[in-house]
Structure 1
C-alpha cells in the first residue's frame, strides 16, 4: 500500500468513527421532557460574588457621645465631629470625620495648637493617630479591627475602613 492509500484509509476510518460516536451520543428521540424544568426564582451562587462576613460590631454602636470620655469604639457612617479630653489635661480635643465611604476614611484631629490629618482608601486600610500634649503623629496603612493598646500620656485614635461604607473608630486614652 502506498503512502497516499494509507492516508485515505486512515481518513475514512476516522470519518466512520466520528459518525458512530455522534450517533451513539444522540438518543435519537427529540421529544420534550415530561415537564419543563422549573425556573429558579432565587439567586444562585454563580450570580453573586462570595459574600464577606459582616464587619465586627462596635462596642459602643454608633453613639458619638460614647467618645466624650476619650475611650470608645464606634461605627461611623457619615461625617461627624467628636470632642474628648486632650492629652495631659489640656482641654478638649476635636476629631472631625470629613469623609466616610466604602473602604474610605478621612479625618482631622485638633488639640490646642496641634493638628493632624489621616486618610486611607482600600479594604482593611486605616490610620493610627497618636495625640500627645506637645505634638501628634500619624501612621496609615493596613490595619485590623482590634482595639489599639493605651499608651502613657497619649490619646490613640484608630480609624479602619470597611467595605460596607462605614469605619470602625477607636479612641483610647491613658
Structure 2
C-alpha cells in the first residue's frame, strides 16, 4: 500500500472513476503537485473515490491494490457485463468504438446504484490503432453467432432490441453502430 497528496480540480461525487489530470488540464499548474479529475468516456481510470471530492480540496490518495472497485452505474447493468467509463466517471456497457473497457460487473444493478466491478488488467487496447484492430476482430466474431446468441449478448450488455430484429441489426447494436 502507498499514498500521496493530490489536489482535486473539479467536484467528483463518491463512487466515481478518477484520473490524473494531464498537463493541459490545469491552469497555472505547479509541477511538483498531482492533480485529480473525473475519468472521461473511454479512459482507463487511475482510481475510484469512495467519498465526495470538492474542487480545490487537497486529498490523500491511498493505493490499496484492490481488484474490486465500487462504482456508480450509468445504466442498468446485468451481472458479468463488460463496462467502460462514461463522461461522468460512472460505468456503462462496454462499446469498443468508444474506448477501453475497465472490468466487469459482479452483480446486476439499476442506473444510479453502486456496482462492484472486477478491474481488468492487460490486453486492453492502448491506442487508436489497437482499438481499430480490436473492433475489427469483434465484428468478425459476431457474424459466426446465431440470432439467439446475439440476443443473449445484447441482454448481457443491457442493450434493448426489437424482438423481430434481423441478424444484421443485432450485430450493429453489439458493435455500437
The answer to whether TM tops 0.5 is no
Larger relative helix fraction:
2
TM-score bracket, normalised by the shorter chain, equals: under 0.3
Larger relative strand fraction:
1
With CA pairs under 8 Å and 6+ residues apart, which has the higher RCO, 1 or 2?
Answer: 2
- TM-score, structure 1 as length reference: 0.21
- Whose Rg is larger? 1
